[in-house]
Amino acid sequence: MSTTALPLHTIDPTEQCWNRIGVRGDRSCPELAKVTHCNNCPVFAAAGRRFLDAPSPVGYLEEWTTRLAARDDDREGDQTSVLVFRLGDEWLALPVAVLVEVTRPRVVHRVPHRGGLLAGLVNIRGELNLCVRMDQFLGVEGGAEPDPEQRRLVVVRHATDRWVFAADEVDQVHRVLLPDLSAAAPTLARAHARMTRGVFPHAGRSVGLLDDTRLFQTLRERLR
């Protein structure tokens, strides 16, 4: 069943300044120095209230009434929460169950006589963690020069192992319906395709959901 979305045009396009001069635009808005992010701006908040107060499309309330009335056990296990992030030109996701935290870049200290997938060691809250080159591990092609302001370190844990990898951009946590996953495109790098459970659409792009068990088991074997 496809869900009818509230139309974005219910917000006055002339007030979508966050897409022009805000964090999604050229960041030239003078208010950013005070509010840090458009989410904290009164203009953004006012637009959001008008969006939520807008009349619902025909059939919207009836459709969601039917969906929410479904038995919980019918939906249990069919969806999961994932963190969406970008490596090079590829948008990927990992289950939040393996996520420890997302933090700003830190200094990575190289390990003598070790290279390849191992970028080095990074200190996260007083604990040294192995930092891996996830893009190289997955065979992801490098995209445009990453924006330093968008780069983040993603800290993950599987069983007793912890790793850190650099992401060129981190989106948010999203809910994914597992039955809606489609097969990975045959054009994906071989290593990437082996580690991907499937692909789901998000924000007009295809996101590959990584198989965390296979990913981290293979990563551990490669780093021995």
- What are the phi and psi torsion angles at 163 (to 5°)? -135, 160
Q: What is the DSSP letter of 113?
A: T
CA-to-CA distance for 92 and 102, rounded, in angstroms? 15
Higher pLDDT, 150 or 71: 150
Q: Compute the distance between CA of residue 95 and CA of residue 221 in angstroms, rounded to an integer.
A: 21
Distance CA 217, CA 146 (A): 28
The β-bridge partners of 127 are 124
Q: Give the total residue count for the chain.
A: 224
pTM, to two decimals: 0.62
Rounded (5°) CA angle 99-200-130: 25
Q: Which has more confidence, 8 or 59?
A: 59
pLDDT digits (tens, 9 = 90+) for 76-109: 558 889 999 999 888 999 999 999 999 999 999 9
Domains of the chain, earliest start first: 8-69 (no CATH), 79-222 (2.40.50.180)
What pLDDT score was predicted for residue 143?
A: 64
Mean pLDDT for all residues in the chain: 80
How many angstroms separate the Cα of 220 from the Cα of each of 27, 117, 183, 197, 212? 40, 11, 26, 19, 12
Q: What is the pLDDT of residues 62-84, one digit of tens each?
A: 776 776 665 555 455 588 899 99
CA distances 77 to 4, 90, 207, Å, are: 23, 27, 20
| pLDDT of res. 65 | 72
pLDDT beyond 60 at 159: yes
Region 194-206: mean pLDDT is 87
